Amino acid sequence: MRYNWTVATKVGSKAIKPNPKLKPLEVLIGEWDTDGSHPYFPGKALHGRTVFEWIEGGAFLLLRSEIDNPKFPDGIEIFGSDDAAGTFYMLHFDERGVSRKYDVAIEGNQIKWWRDEPSFRQRYILKIEDDKLVGLGEMSRNGSAWEPDLSLTYIRAS
Distance (Å, whole) CA 137 – CA 25 = 19
CATH code assigned at 151 = 2.40.128.20
Asked whether residue 85 is domain-assigned, the answer is: yes
pLDDT tens track for 67-91: 999 999 999 999 999 999 999 999 9
Distance (Å, whole) CA 28 – CA 37 = 21
Asked whether residue 6 is domain-assigned, the answer is: no
Domains identified in the chain, total number: 1
Sign of the torsion angle spanned by Cα atoms 129, 135, 138, 139: positive
Domain span including residue 104: 16-156
3-state secondary structure of 52: strand
pLDDT tens track for 7-50: 556 788 899 999 999 999 999 999 999 999 999 999 999 999 99
Asked whether residue 9 is domain-assigned, the answer is: no
